Amino acid sequence: MKKVLLILTILFILSGCQNEKKFVPIKSDPDIQGYVMDKRDGEILVVSSKPGENGDKEHVLKAIWTSEAPEIIQIGEQVRVWYRGGIQESYPSQGTVKQIKLMNTAKPKGSFFSEKDMIQKGLEQIDATRGIVAVKSIAYVEEKDAWELTLIVEQEGEQNVQSLTIKDEI
């Protein structure tokens, strides 16, 4: 009986000494959800068409350059991003990725392309060299065999809405 009690005590003590990482859930709401609109040197620019929360009346779009983004992330993809640590309150903001989740943007029925492909094509067609661009809306219209893409271009506090129709052809 003493041996059984001793073995159970040792097992109990050893189970308390395990060196396993505890799962820490990430808060459910991301810090930003939007489209990747630019990419450079391990950073991505994520822009949401929803207004920023910093009370800055000059800049309406919520935008952040995030470092430590996975290389696999591409311009035009819709993502949800959680930040690690604080963010720099410049415009666009700057921060570090804690977690990033790609949103499912499959090709619509009848289309050769995905949203990502059409956003990339749309960015090639507009002049936004010194501005921040956000996707206001994007949809494939099967009857027209074309995509309708509306972009918001913010330059020096001014916003310009540009609507594009892009044929779905190779």
User: Could you tell me the pTM of the whole model?
Assistant: 0.78
Helix H or strand E encompassing 138: strand 132-141
Mean pLDDT of the chain: 84
CB 154 within 8 A of CB 132: yes
Q: In sequence order, what are the beta bridge partners of 35?
A: 47, 78
Give the pLDDT of residue 76. 96
What does the pLDDT average to over 130-135?
89
What's the Cα-to-Cα distance from 107 to each of 116, 155, 164, rounded to whole Å?
A: 9, 31, 19
CATH number of 32-102: 2.40.50.140
What does the pLDDT average to over 69-93?
93
pLDDT higher than 60, residue 39? yes
What does the pLDDT average to over 39-47?
94
Q: Are strands 61-67 and 93-102 parallel, antiparallel or unpaired?
A: parallel
Give the pLDDT of residue 69. 92
pLDDT higher than 70, residue 132? yes
